[in-house]
Amino acid sequence: MTDETPRPLIQPITVRRGLGDHDVQGNFWQKVGGRPTFEKLVRRFYEGVQTDEVIWPMYPADDLEGAIQRLTGFLEQYWGGPTTYSDERGHPRLRMRHAPFPITPLARERWLVHMRAAVDSLELSPLDDATLWGYLDRAAHAMTNTAGE
């Protein structure tokens, strides 16, 4: 090719899984710091949720620590950590567990605001941040179960 010849647009590919169904760069849970990282994420998330008049009423104020441990355990297991969540609670069944709560687009966006702040507090590498955030964003959209405000 000469300098005048336009180069073809080559779209990059992302290889997400390697042997053992781990991220191709290794176990994500281990890579980002294991339980301390996920517990920091969830505790920071709940700090924000407690100040949110839209979504805080959906959370168990009388069992906040239990909610923290359940979300931490779920995320740890999803990202390759211990299977404590399923060992104690069975299959995650996220949509079923969230069905009793009216998760509107507004509630979803408020959840994402607090989760984004929590992810930012981890100061992950850009790739790890994008990997984690991509999942959280998709999960939040999947949990939306009503169009009402």
pLDDT band at 101 (very low <50, low <70, confident <90, very high): confident
Residue 92 has what pLDDT? 72
Does residue 21 lie in a domain region?
no
Any domain includes 132: yes
Residue 111 lies in a domain: yes
Q: Is the per-residue pLDDT at 69 higher than 80?
A: yes
Q: Please tell me the predicted confidence (pLDDT) of residue 7.
A: 57
Q: Is the model's pLDDT at 73 over the cut of 90? A: yes
**93 torsion bin: left (phi>0), alpha (psi -120 to 50), beta (else):** left
In this structure, is residue 105 part of a structural domain? Answer: yes
Residue 97: its pLDDT value, please? 75
Q: What is the pLDDT of residue 15?
A: 46
| Position 78 in a domain | yes
Q: Mind listing the pLDDT tens digit for each residue in 5-55?
A: 665 555 544 445 544 555 455 799 999 999 999 999 999 999 999 999 999
pLDDT average, residue stretch 122-143 = 96
pLDDT at 13: 44
Q: Describe the chain by its helix, strand, coil percentages, rounded to 5.
A: 60, 0, 40
Mean pLDDT of 103-109: 93
Give whole-number Cα distances, 132 to 29, 79, 120, in Å: 10, 9, 11
- Give residue 60's pLDDT: 86
Q: 42: domain CATH number?
A: 1.10.490.10
CA neighbor of 124 nearest in space, from 43, 50, 49, 40: 40
pLDDT at 104 over 70: yes
Interval 51-78 mean pLDDT: 93
Chain centroid, CA 50 distance in Å: 18
Q: How many domains does the chain have?
A: 1
Label residue 20 left, alpha or beta by phi (over 0 means left) and psi (-120 to 50 means alpha): left
* 38 assigned to some structural domain: yes
d(CA 3, CA 89): 61
Structural domain span for residue 132: 32-143
